[in-house]
A and B are shown apart, each in its own frame.
Chain A
């Protein structure tokens, strides 16, 4: 059974720091992996989607990498800002013909001014 883990559960950094969020999954047979951001009391906003054939995806200051063999994805945030404070979740999908999605529990990030 696929399990998705995000460590640490919480992270606090000073503004301007580059940081890495981790997402681990137990079954390397995934179809894609998606990173989301969730602000308190809000829905999830998609940040990056990585297909299993890809190694990384970039959007602005965000870069997500995928290493299927090691069961790991990282979300790199460059030059962090207070506005980046939120909970970041990753989710994996096993195959193209299933609608099942398994989420990690998230990392809550606080960027201090």
Chain B
């Protein structure tokens, strides 16, 4: 089954404790991206990757890191989480379409709480 898998789905952690949210897709997509969703602010893009070893900042990259060492995986790293990073996080991937990026497929989300 074609899917984007995120782990963990739920996490409660404390300020300053490094954590990684993994994202894996089995569709051989080149494009992957991370978003956070907050009430009243909607979905905002954190980072994206057009292909392996190519990453770029979205609108809210502060406090996050990513890496794209292989096509299927795109982990989101919070080196020193803070309470304002409490949010619902989504990973997405996409195949090319018409010379650009096509339909986006989303993971189920990871709800992170930083105390």
Q: Is the CB of B56 within 8 A of A44?
A: no
Q: For A102, list chain B residues within 8 Å (CB).
A: 45, 59
Q: Is the CB of B48 within 8 A of A43?
A: no
Q: Is the CB of B45 within 8 A of A43?
A: no
B residues 38-73 near A (Cβ < 8 Å) are 40-45, 48-50, 56, 58-59
A-B contact count (CB 8 A): 72
- Compute how far the CA of A104 lies from the CA of B41 in the bound complex, rounded to whole angstroms: 9
Q: Is the CB of A96 within 8 A of B99?
A: yes
Q: Is the CB of B104 within 8 A of A101?
A: yes
- Compute how far the CA of A106 lies from the CA of B44 in the bound complex, rounded to whole angstroms: 13
CB distance from B76 to the nearest CB of A (A): 15
Q: Tell me the nearest residue of chain B to A93, going by C-beta.
A: B101
Q: Tell me the nearest residue of chain B to A48, going by C-beta.
A: B103
- Compute how far the CA of A91 lies from the CA of B108 in the bound complex, rounded to whole angstroms: 18
A residues 58-79 near B (Cβ < 8 Å) are none
Instruction: Tell me whether B102 is interfacial, beta carbon within 8 Å.
Output: yes
- Compute how far the CA of A89 lies from the CA of B41 in the bound complex, rounded to whole angstroms: 13
- Render A68-110 as a binary contact track against B, CB cut-off 8 A, 1 for contact: 0000000000000000000001010101110111111110000
User: Taking beta carbons and an 8 Å cutoff, which residues of A are in contact with B?
Assistant: 31-32, 34, 36, 41-46, 49, 51, 89, 91, 93, 95-97, 99-106
